[in-house]
Amino acid sequence: MSGAGYKYEVTLYATPDFRHASYIMKGLSDLKREGIVRIKPRIRGLQYRDRLVVDAGRLVRSNRPYPWSPICRIKDIDSGVVTRIAIDLQDWPNWFSHHALTHSDIVYKRCYDRKITEIVEREYKVKVLPFGMSHSYGLDDNVFSQWKVKTLKLLGKLESVVNDPLRLKGPFSGKGANGLHTSVHVKSMSFVNVRAELPECYAFFQVKYYDWNNRWSTPLNEYRAEIIRNLKRHLGVRFQGGMYFDCPVPPAYQDCITNLPTTQAHYLDMVQQATVVVSTNGFAQSPPWKLCEYLQMGKCIVSEPIAYELPVSLVDGRDVLYFQTPDDCAVVCQSLLDNPRQMEKLGENARAFYEANIKPRNKILRTISHSLEARLQ
């Protein structure tokens, strides 16, 4: 399509991160196909000491990259109004990009904590607003050609070395923290046999054990293990799942090993077949990608309450059912499994919430419109 019909022009200054930013690219790609947005992809320049951390009320810049906050230059083609925004997709509410804060009119932050952002706003004189939940998509090569992808990956390695020469192995990848891995302990199971033994209605919760042994992974592992134990105790065979491991199973977690295969295809099939799915927050209490995916699939969701402010909140009892403790999680699941009509209604509302508030096309368009309106105020 020619540029004549486009309403907006968006110049996206891409960073080396694709796992998170693919959400933005997906939204822009869909809007481009509809003739609403003309996209001009660019590569962001090399940044030094870009990571800003709010620590005990103090702002501290560190010698670490921050590739999770791409900047967009947005132009309303008819009026000529231009604004620049950053969309910060990191899990940690107290991490920011110095470059984004100094080169944007608004920073939209996925994990938004008002008290923390007020500290940043006072120092940088920039508005920080909640962006809400997002999740990953496959990279759309129609937006970024292969040479740009390779250049950005190289930029990521260069930034890591420039900021800290001791980190010569390249950026920390999180060890596949949000990916689906095949557990060596259950990968040989026959999924045909597993499906034949599944109950008609069941609650599903399957998570990875993180063997990082640090202040982030240990409490997350322990909390999720307690949920698994309670689900097993309350639901019996009507609970399916558990933990999978990319390491030797610690003795304290032997009772949490999943009873299911853990390949991606099997995982997706189990989610689709499940009548109830359970979601917990991720690192730094961030809303997990899988919660967005459950909403997208229209599942009946039992979830830990969202810890951060959203532009539009999930309504407990309408879109999801929240639990407060591991034991409460099992009790809520048990009640739902005996109430098919409630499960159906929650699933319908979950899908509607996704379409209205998380679907990349809709959310990116709303963000573009909001940022231009704010520029005129």
Give residue-wise pLDDT tens across range 287-317.
999 999 999 999 999 999 999 999 999 999 9
* Confidence class for position 157, pLDDT limits 50, 70, 90: confident
298: in domain = yes
The answer to whether residues 137 and 198 belong to one domain is no
177: in domain = no
* Confidence class for position 182, pLDDT limits 50, 70, 90: very low
The answer to whether residues 365 and 301 belong to one domain is no
In the chain, beta strands by DSSP E: 8-14, 37-43, 51-55, 58-62, 71-76, 82-88, 95-97, 106-109, 127-130, 203-208, 239-244, 276-279, 301-303, 321-322
The answer to whether residues 221 and 310 belong to one domain is yes
Q: For residues 365 and 148, give the distance between their C-alpha atoms in angstroms, rounded to a whole number.
A: 24
The answer to whether residues 136 and 249 belong to one domain is no
The answer to whether residues 210 and 318 belong to one domain is yes
Q: For residues 314 and 332, give the distance between their C-alpha atoms in angstroms, rounded to a whole number.
A: 17
The count of other CB atoms within 10 Å of the CB of residue 53 is 15
346: in domain = no
Q: For residues 149 and 153, give the distance between their C-alpha atoms in angstroms, rounded to a whole number.
A: 6
pLDDT higher than 60, residue 189: no
The answer to whether residues 166 and 218 belong to one domain is no
Start-to-end Cα distance in the chain:
32
Q: For residues 119 and 179, give the distance between their C-alpha atoms in angstroms, rounded to a whole number.
A: 33
- Give CA angle at 48 (150, 179), nearest 5°: 50
118: in domain = yes
The answer to whether residues 80 and 164 belong to one domain is yes
For residue 217, give its domain range. Answer: 191-338
DSSP state of 46: P
The answer to whether residues 197 and 152 belong to one domain is no
The answer to whether residues 93 and 39 belong to one domain is yes
182: in domain = no
**What is residue 332's predicted lDDT score, i.e. its pLDDT?**
98
**What is residue 1's predicted lDDT score, i.e. its pLDDT?**
43
Domain count, the chain: 2
Per the structure block, which two tokens stand in for 51? 């990571």
pLDDT tens digits for range 328-342: 999 999 999 999 999
162: in domain = yes
Domain of 269: which CATH number?
A: 3.40.50.2000
Q: Is 60 exposed, middle or buried (0-12, 13-18, 19+ CB in 10 A)?
A: exposed
The answer to whether residues 151 and 229 belong to one domain is no
Q: What share of the chain is helix, strand, coil (3-state, %, to 5)?
A: 40, 20, 40
355: in domain = no
**What is residue 144's predicted lDDT score, i.e. its pLDDT?**
63
pTM score of the predicted model: 0.89
The answer to whether residues 259 and 320 belong to one domain is yes
The answer to whether residues 164 and 242 belong to one domain is no
150: in domain = yes
**What is residue 150's predicted lDDT score, i.e. its pLDDT?**
72
